[in-house]
């Protein structure tokens, strides 16, 4: 049972004691009916109760809160009651107190029966409970309804050891439960406790601010390059700059490995743009960590929250959405946007659904878009395009789920699925007498040493020649990997498979790197092709790129040919193949054979 002392003008309690009172109450665990948070606390009580042969034990804290035990068990909580000054004297004294028979001590004449007892106590002993640094936080008191003849040295040692264990346990639990070991700032549990207290004190609203030090990948790069000591020093330095910015009497919390938070006072209910700009400017200044300067990419998020939103909600998750968005903005800070948050939640939902779809045989599908040879007009290749038919959301476009797959680490599985299904259908079409190739897109995350073996194994499993496959990589993917990329691409070419540079013209367009790539074809991005009908500049770009690529030995494929006018234009250029809606829209796998059977070819150079 917990009781609380009333005000006593003659007793002094300093600020540090008040802080420990709050910390210890949190550590001990609130009402005893909820259990004690200090590991083994109740076990210590049972040990001292048996060792001294006493039925009653109490932990009385410096501020007046008391926790009572009878026969080793916590007593039920009831309304707070006034503690006798004798208990407070013990809780605030550095000296132990032993009263073998209270009837012979005038201090006990007006002491009410202890909780859980129907008669006055006759034996009382106390031992101060101190922190590891010697600061007293209360006393451990033991009581009996019968007097004792003595308190032996062994019993006194047991009481002293029990008090030491309780003091160490309280400090350890408080430290681990509320303090980050690196920055010495209170952390997430303390943040939530204090935010609840903010509302309990009558504030209708709170502004929560979060500071993300750096994107996770970049912070991990700090650690890989400089070590944990450097990263720890950076976190301490960021904390110091933030503490110098936040209003006085405002606490800063470390709520994540790379994130701080604070609850701003009520006068900051309206976002102060100038003040936030000042904080971002402070954090963008270089930090000198262990003698090595570093510039971070901070993100500051701001969230306005009411008490009702705290119940059952997670303000840290909400404000984290704002700080994450801020990291990728020029200004460096952002206010929480509920619509943006909902989009993030939908993305997470889609990622989990996509992972399930990769094991399901009905949701994912492949469509195939024909490519025709401009010299003969006949179909020579099909590009495999993934489609996702979600059972409740309907058709989800590739522009949405491909990026999700890359960010969620699902791209390898998705590429493997496309490989298996696409090559299996290609084998079927070739057995039907159609001499066509299959091209499919490969992400930068797939461009590794095992891609060569994966392609080889799938081709062998379906008995398809590797020279009938073409792997499409975006221009950016090919240009950003340098020597490693060329090594993997060379291995793919040695298998006999083709390599296409996709979306050319929208990325780096590095001609020096282009000439070193072992690619076989170059696909001019459809954004230039579609503009040829209205823009002389786009037509000049397509014509020039086609001439250049042809002279470098690439087979030129033009995407986005959607009208007969565009088709006629590319016929007159140095292009080898065309692809687009004017030729055919992407076809479900079941429609490919009928389309191939009825396709009579497109106009060709031989006819023109």
The catalytic site residues sit at 559
Q: Are 446 and 415 in contact (CB under 8 A)?
A: yes
In order, the DSSP letters of 43-80 are HHHHHHHHHHT-SEEEEEETTS-EEEEETTEEPPP-S-
Degrees to nearest 5, angle at CA 464 with 462 and 467: 150
> Residues 406, 410, 412, 416: is their CA dihedral positive or negative?
negative
Q: Are 218 and 240 in contact (CB under 8 A)?
A: no
For residues 48 and 149, give the distance between their C-alpha atoms in angstroms, rounded to a whole number: 18
SS3 letters for 232-253? Answer: HHHHHHHHHHHHHHCCCCCCEE
For residues 251 and 267, give the distance between their C-alpha atoms in angstroms, rounded to a whole number: 15
User: Which residue spans within 145-220 are E strands per DSSP?
Assistant: 205-212
* Assigned token pair, 471: 């792997």
For residues 360 and 413, give the distance between their C-alpha atoms in angstroms, rounded to a whole number: 12
For residues 556 and 499, give the distance between their C-alpha atoms in angstroms, rounded to a whole number: 12
Q: Please compute Rg for the chain using Cα positions.
A: 37
Q: How many CA atoms lie within 13 A of 67 on its CB side?
A: 29
Largest CA distance in the chain: 125
* Assigned token pair, 462: 């379906």
Q: What's 313's DSSP letter?
A: -
> Residues 341, 345, 350, 355: is their CA dihedral positive or negative?
positive
The contacts of residue 460 (CB under 8 Å, 6+ apart) are none
For residues 108 and 90, give the distance between their C-alpha atoms in angstroms, rounded to a whole number: 13
Burial label, 10 (beta-carbon count in 10 A; 0-12, 13-18, 19+): exposed
* Assigned token pair, 211: 């500071």
SS3 letters for 471-530? Answer: EEEEHHHHHCCHHHHHHHHHHHHHHCCEEEEEEECCCCCCHHHHCCCCCCEEEECHHHHH
CA dihedral 276→279→280→286, nearest 10 degrees, is 170
Q: Which residue has tokens 């009208």?
A: 563
Question: E strand or H helix at 165, and its extent?
Answer: helix 153-178
CA–chain centroid gap for 289, Å, is 25
For residues 306 and 310, give the distance between their C-alpha atoms in angstroms, rounded to a whole number: 7
Q: Are 374 and 578 in contact (CB under 8 A)?
A: yes
**Helices marked H in 531-604 — which ranges?**
536-551, 564-571, 589-598
């Amino acid at each position: 049972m917990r009781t609380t002392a009333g005000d006593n003008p003659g007793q002094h309690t300093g600020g540090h004691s008040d802080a420990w009172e709050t910390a210890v109450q949190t550590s001990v665990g609130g009402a005893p009916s909820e259990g004690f948070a200090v590991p083994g606390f109740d076990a210590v009580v049972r040990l001292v109760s048996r060792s001294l042969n006493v039925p009653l034990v109490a932990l009385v804290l410096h501020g007046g809160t008391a926790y009572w035990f009878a026969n080793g068990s916590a007593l039920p909580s009831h309304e707070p009651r006034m503690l006798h000054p004798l208990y407070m004297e013990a809780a605030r004294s550095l000296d132990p107190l032993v009263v073998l028979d209270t009837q012979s001590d005038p201090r006990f004449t007006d002491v009410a029966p202890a909780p859980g007892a129907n008669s006055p106590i006759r034996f009382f002993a106390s031992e101060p409970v101190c922190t590891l640094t010697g600061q007293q936080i209360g006393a451990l008191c033991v009581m009996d309804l019968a007097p004792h003849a003595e308190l032996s040295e062994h019993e006194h040692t047991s009481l002293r050891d029990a008090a030491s264990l309780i003091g160490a346990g309280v400090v350890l639990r408080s430290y681990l439960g509320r303090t980050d070991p690196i920055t010495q700032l209170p952390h997430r549990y303390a943040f939530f406790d204090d935010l609840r207290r903010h509302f309990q004190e009558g504030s209708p609203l709170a502004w929560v601010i979060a500071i993300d030090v750096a994107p996770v990948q970049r912070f991990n790069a700090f650690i890989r390059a400089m070590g944990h000591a450097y990263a720890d020093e950076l976190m301490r330095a960021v904390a110091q700059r933030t503490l110098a910015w936040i209003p006085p009497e405002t606490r800063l919390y470390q709520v994540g490995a790379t994130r701080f938070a604070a609850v701003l006072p009520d006068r900051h209910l309206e976002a102060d743009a100038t003040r936030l700009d000042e904080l971002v400017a402070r954090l963008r200044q270089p930090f000198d960590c262990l003698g090595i300067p570093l510039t971070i990419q901070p993100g500051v998020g701001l969230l306005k929250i009411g008490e009702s939103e705290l119940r059952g909600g997670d303000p840290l998750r909400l404000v984290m959405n704002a700080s994450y968005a801020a990291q990728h903005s020029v200004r460096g800070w952002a206010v929480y946007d509920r619509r943006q948050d909902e989009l993030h939640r939908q993305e997470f939902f889609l990622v989990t659904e996509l992972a399930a779809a990769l094991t399901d045989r009905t949701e994912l599908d492949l469509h195939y878009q024909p490519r025709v040879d401009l010299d003969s007009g006949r179909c020579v290749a099909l590009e495999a395009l993934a489609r996702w038919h979600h059972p409740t959301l309907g058709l989800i476009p590739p522009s949405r789920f491909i990026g999700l797959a890359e960010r969620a680490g699902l791209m390898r599985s998705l590429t493997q699925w496309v490989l298996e299904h696409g090559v299996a259908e290609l084998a079927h079409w070739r057995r039907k007498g159609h001499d066509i190739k299959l091209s499919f897109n490969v992400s930068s995350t797939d461009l590794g040493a095992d891609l060569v073996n994966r392609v080889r194994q799938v081709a062998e499993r379906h008995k398809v020649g590797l020279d009938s496959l073409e792997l499409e990589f975006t221009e950016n993917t090919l240009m950003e990997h340098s020597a490693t990329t060329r090594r993997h691409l060379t291995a793919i070419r040695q298998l006999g498979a083709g390599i296409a540079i996709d979306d050319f013209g929208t990325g780096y367009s590095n001609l020096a790197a282009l000439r070193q790539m072992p690619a076989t074809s170059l696909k001019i991005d459809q954004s230039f092709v579609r503009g040829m009908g209205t823009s002389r500049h786009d037509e000049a770009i397509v014509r020039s790129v086609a001439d250049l690529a042809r002279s470098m030995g690439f087979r030129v494929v033009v995407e986005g040919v959607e009208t007969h006018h565009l088709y006629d234009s590319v016929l007159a250029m140095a292009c080898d193949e065309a692809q687009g809606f004017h030729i055919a829209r992407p076809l479900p796998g079941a429609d490919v054979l009928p389309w191939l059977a009825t396709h009579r070819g497109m106009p060709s150079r031989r006819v023109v």
